[in-house]
Amino acid sequence: DSGVTQTPKHLITATGQRVTLRCSPRSGDLSVYWYQQSLDQGLQFLIQYYNGEERAKGNILERFSAQQFPDLHSELNLSSLELGDSALYFCASSPEPGTVYGYTFGSGTRLTVV
Amino acid sequence: GQQLNQSPQSMFIQEGEDVSMNCTSSSIFNTWLWYKQDPGEGPVLLIALYKAGELTSNGRLTAQFGITRKDSFLNISASIPSDVGIYFCAGQLTGSQGNLIFGKGTKLSVKP
């Protein structure tokens, strides 16, 4: 157990729908990162939060949004889902931004859009 | 955007063989990381490299941070069945907030 908790583990939904993925960071970590992993691909950085504020943005679609709450858990919202959004979504956390020391990944949420 | 070119894409190993994989980029990184990912799991950190030229070992694994800061390699010696999985390199650019750029992975499988 890495200490980073992601729920749900699996999600199947239809095109056009909206889903929310949840991440609880490791205890003490203030920074949360979201990544997308499509089939046979490396992880693509989506967005980062630190202590409730957005810190960096990657190739995140406008249909996707995220936030980090006061208790430091984070949610990734995916709307108007398309077949191509089917992927593994990973959350990682670290004590602070700017360093990869203590960077830890969760087990991911597998999203299938049908 | 920045890309990491990881090779080989896949390889087959026989128990006891040494394995080598590498990553190159046109960008300069201040940190290189090597991860292993098993099916249904998130990436697990194997080795982290913080200085150009740094050579670091973790058991049978050895990784090096290239002098130009644009490349890194990972060697696995005397492979065992549990080494099977997907290995990713990842790099952090200078000035980034901690987000990583990943290679596409090297898939290790066992020779039939």
Chain B neighbours among A 6-65 (CB < 8 Å)? 31, 33, 35, 40-45, 48, 50, 55-56, 58-59
pLDDT range class, residue A100, cuts 50, 70, 90: confident
Which residue in B35, B49, B99, B107 has the most chain A C-beta atoms within 10 A of its own C-beta, making it the best mutation to test that interface? B99
For strand B106-110 and strand B10-13, is the pairing parallel, antiparallel, or unpaired? parallel
Ranges of chain B with pLDDT below 70: 1-2
pLDDT tens, position by position, B26-36: 999 999 999 99
Q: What are phi and psi of B64, to 5 degrees?
A: -135, 145
pLDDT at B2: 65
- Residue B66 contacts A where some CB pair is shorter than 8 Å: no
pLDDT tens, position by position, A37-87: 998 677 999 999 999 999 999 989 999 999 999 999 999 999 999 999 999
pLDDT at B71: 95
DSSP string, B14-61: -TT--EEEEEE-SS-EEEEEEEEE-TTS--EEEEEE-STT-EEEETTE
pLDDT at A78: 98
For chain A, give me the number of helices (H) and strands (E)? Answer: 0, 11
- Residue B25 contacts A where some CB pair is shorter than 8 Å: no
